[in-house]
A and B are shown apart, each in its own frame.
Chain A
């Protein structure tokens, strides 16, 4: 980085000519306006041209920094023979997002690949944008009461607040895909269905609904 850190000029404030007696905050000050040009235009022009020419030559002749170095702000850069262009060429190169970036939703899966959601309706209740639609149906499993027949999220209405993820009691919905909502030509196509969100889903390691070690078994029995 060749950012020039210059000391801020010492500033004593404007020269006060008169102060109002009634309210001391009302003052008249001497306004300093630039008078006749006190710079040498030609020398200043040459100096400016040298700076821009240096940047141009450096960026024109030297190779670019690697995509990773450009994409990650603050990453260590071998600056010696690299130019100063910071542009990330978006569709091909992507900035690494922070870990907690909230992207497109995904529905997590059970061990057998079924949807993990039990249609408890916590997330549509928590959703401030009313973008989640769940139609529950009866589950085949004896141990799980409900599952969603329809689970749709309108990504145009979603404000990516993450409250649905916070509200979910069984780690069934997550926003950690790191993907943006894709541009669409038709509003209907911005609606994510259960299938598309399950396609992004992975198996969750959290325990749920009696599968795996049950808290009733592992927890210490309450003392009477």
Chain B
């Protein structure tokens, strides 16, 4: 019975559902409300706080349900002369790749179902991984593949087609202009985004997000030590990647493809839930960018100083088992550790999403030429310089 349960949970589709339905969709939906509420607070307003089910008000958090109901029941209007097939396909093309890309994100530690209630014996885990306590394991990552980050870039490039095809299929000059801007922006910033992560690759020697999160910058420090996370060792890479990733989400200050003041953008002809899919895709991209940055630069699912067997201050890495030992330890059951670490991941994602909202509501939007200048004349050379400097440091000092 337990075996069947483990097999079901260990199935990729189950884990995908767990991640998407448990974290991504709720967070992305609530972000639509949080964005309006947070921006209101930043501008000395109150923001939406009225939606309620009877007396349940929750500060207006139910607005996302009201929005969804409104969008679903709106008239599904398709203008004349649009290419009907591509018009219907474009929102799917915008939404699906982001959901697929979550496959590479590790959203929790490896679970050993047979030792949930006991503290993990790290020495036994390293020396006898086949024993009963560790015989079954559930890895909270859908696909652990060596080319994880490449997969991410490849799949997110597909999301580009959503905007471009929407602009083309709409039979509207503004939409076409928005679609073209979308593709040019995505192409420009994808270069910088990919190269910004190459510094991390040089440090860790892997493109697998789970391995980057788990091993950190140095093998002599515990992976749960915040000083071991990549934000300290790749600060330039972090800023550059964050900038390029915000540009990829097509939001202010890089909202040229949507450009509300000038051209409305590639989804100008969309309404109802079709538009809602573009909107949701944008917010899921925010969550995804936050998840990637949390995984690569902020230790992924690691809570500071929480090792597999509990909180540890001090201690060192055993060179044989590659586990941290010694120090002052507060032992915790495996289940508690797993919950804490999965919660840490969710918390990091929420905080980084909020930070993206802060940036979106602080900076003014850029002109198209300023956008291209920043992308090609600043970000790209800086990423290349970052790679050079990182390589030199690795070569000379480590």
Contact = CB atoms under 8 A, between A and B. Distances in A.
A55 interface: yes
Given A85-B46, A87-B46, A45 B41 contact: no
A52, A53, A89: most-surrounded residue (chain B CB, <10 A): A52
B43 interface: yes
A84 interface: yes
Nearest to A46: B362
A48, A55, A56, A60: most-surrounded residue (chain B CB, <10 A): A56
A59 interface: yes
Contacts of A59: 41-42, 44
Interface in B26-65: 38, 41-46
A51 B359 CA distance: 11
Interface string A68-93: 00000000000000011111010000
Nearest to A53: B358
B239 interface: yes
A135 to B, nearest CB: 44
Contacts of A56: 38, 41-42, 358
A85 B44 contact: yes
Contacts of B46: 85, 87, 89
A48 B362 contact: yes
Contact of A55 (B41, B239, B359): B41
B162 to A, nearest CB: 29
Main secondary structure of the interface of A (DSSP, over half): helix
Contacts of B361: 52
Contacts of A85: 41, 44-46
A55 to B, nearest CB: 5
A53 to B, nearest CB: 7
B363 interface: yes
A86 B38 CA distance: 15
Given A45-B363, A48-B363, A56-B38, A84 B358 contact: no
Interface size class of A (residues with CB under 8 A): 10 to 19
Interface string B360-378: 0111000000000000000
Contacts of A45: 359, 362-363
B117 to A, nearest CB: 39
A53 B357 CA distance: 11
Nearest to A2: B44
B358 A49 contact: yes
Contacts of B42: 52-53, 55-56, 59
B341 to A, nearest CB: 28
A219 interface: no
Interface in A38-68: 42, 45, 48-49, 51-53, 55-56, 59-60
Contact of B358 (A52, A86, A87): A52
Given A42-B239, A56-B38, A86 B44 contact: yes
A169 B44 CA distance: 48
Interface in B339-370: 358-359, 361-363
B46 to A, nearest CB: 4
A86 B44 CA distance: 7
A11 to B, nearest CB: 23
Interface in B1-45: 38, 41-45
B362 A60 contact: no
A85 B40 CA distance: 9
Contacts of B362: 45, 48-49, 51-52
Contacts of B38: 56
Contact of B43 (A48, A49, A55): A55
A142 B239 CA distance: 91
Nearest to A91: B50
A54 to B, nearest CB: 9
Given A49-B362, A55-B42, A59-B42, 10 more contacts: A45-B363, A48-B362, A49-B358, A52-B358, A52-B362, A53-B42, A55-B43, A56-B38, A56-B41, A86-B45
Q: Please provide the 9 A-B residue pairs with the shortest distance between their CB atoms, ordered closest to farther.
A: A87-B46, A59-B41, A48-B362, A52-B42, A84-B44, A52-B362, A56-B42, A56-B41, A55-B42
21 contacts: A45-B359, A48-B362, A49-B358, A49-B359, A49-B362, A52-B42, A53-B358, A55-B42, A55-B43, A55-B44, A56-B42, A59-B41, A59-B42, A59-B44, A60-B41, A84-B44, A85-B41, A85-B44, A85-B45, A87-B45, A87-B46
Interface of B: 38, 41-46, 239, 358-359, 361-363
Interface of A: 42, 45, 48-49, 51-53, 55-56, 59-60, 83-87, 89
